[in-house]
Structure 1
Amino acid sequence: MNETAGPPQDPRDATLTTADGRAALRMERALAHPPERVWTALTDPAALGRWFPAEVALDLAPGGRIVFRFPGAEDGDPSTKGVVTAVDEPRLFAFTWGGDELRWTVAPEGRGSLLTLVHTFGDLPGAASFASGWHLCLAALARSLDGGPAAAGQDRGALHEAYLHRFGLDRGTVESVGETGARRVRFERQLVRPAEAVWAALSAGIEPVAGLPAPEGFTADGVAAGPVSEVRAPHSLTYRAEPDTTVLWELGEGTGHGVRLVLTQTGPAGFDADAALAAWRTRIERLAAELLRL
């Protein structure tokens, strides 16, 4: 597979919106082929197999089943199955995929077509993974229609990070905790490497030990590390920090692109959470940049 790096350039007009706890990713691609040819590429299993990284079986009718067979995936995995919800040849093809909803529309544009994908899902922090994956699939689809080599490329992380910043997914939040006025800084961010690689980058060869100060890599500017209270390498680290706060790093299951980071710092009402928010955002950006070099 080819590596793909650099900022998003194609498809055009990728947008992300949220409503009622769901996120909607919209991506468009202008194609130099009539809607009928694009429709075949979207709905014929043999044509799908030339650009989509899974074997697809489907009953092309509302209520029909659609199944995605990825290499190594278990047949019983519900995330590989869905139901066709709309078919209007050659304009509209929609289906569910696990808990997600996908809607493909094809419209005439000049001598070709405008293909639009709207992918609706519940995992907002995973949006950059979905966007970078569809980016590569749509590029492969265009190559397939043009008669060229259509295998989807592979993103080593730069494309993912470009979409992450484009959608503002690098920003944390400040939350109120309970009735005491306590404040919590929270970041949830999809990373592009597995937990073991992220833990190694954070620890830099100095493994955390309960009762000793947290290694510098787990801290941010202005966060004075106190003793580690709990460590479960390579998945979590908890330590005390001044002034009277608790920092928790968690590396859990993500989208498959890499590990999901959840970082919190919780303190009393007087805790300067806004300053901590800026400091942790800078620290996580440094970590993300380091992971791209691995």
Structure 2
Amino acid sequence: MSDLLTIRVRLAAPADRVWRALTDPAELRVWFAEHAEVELPQRYAFWGRFTPEGDDPQQRLLHADDHTLRFAWLLGGVETTSEIELTPQGEHTELTLRQSHFVFSEALDGSTIRGVLQTWWSLALANLNAHLEGRPLLPRTDFTSADLRGELVIDAPMDRVWTSLTDSEQASAWFGFPIGIEPWVGGRYAMGGFEAGYAAKVVDLTPGHKMSVDWGPTGVSTWELAESGGKTKLTFVQSGFDESNPPYAAWSGSVSGLSELRRFHEVPDWQPIWLGEEQPAGSAAS
């Protein structure tokens, strides 16, 4: 059964600029993949350490016109289909990503590499928007490494960033999904809100500075803040997981969310880039 994942974003550039970022191999190597080769309408390929199973290019171009790319992509022994469609919206562009063969349960249990597709594409699109806005990129997921750490500088005071990381209402706003947070050691950190069922546990906290959350098999997420030239440096690390099976899906999702944390503080009249996401049937089950 082929399930279809759909992600929609509103990008901060006109359609011709977005198309160039998607099809110019030099630009793709900046924000998307370690290696890229594009010769439309014959070839669209990317590979390297920032690509799932990226030892070699595994894409086969199926269709390209002035607003749509569609390619087959072999992942975990299965030929999936990826489609990127652009819709002009004046000075902005709506991008719709459609990805076949995504099963939510595989994201939770890590049973196939295809389980990373939802969060990997989300991080890629967040970095596409950062590239178009002229902002520093978020750390891309390195599929050759079990060292999951990165940092981000936010143009806002440390106390404001701390509040946005630990206040349920603000965190839910910038992450785009309900989050229930009890900011004390032993408190709950509940994706989906406190009524959703499972909650991770806050295991370390230094008010205004540092928080660690234990997610179980995917390890412990730690956020640490420091002053940086009147701005805030956010360092984030995932640790305590089985290094033979790094939680790349969870890591990519956490990092992609931080793109909106930065925009939440830096963009006047902030609105998230995410326009909605349709998960395959049964994705709510866990």
TM-score range, shorter chain: 0.3 to 0.5
Structure-2-length-normalised TM-score: 0.45
Structure-1-length-normalised TM-score: 0.44
Compare relative contact order (CA 8 Å, sep 6+) and give the higher one, 1 or 2.
2
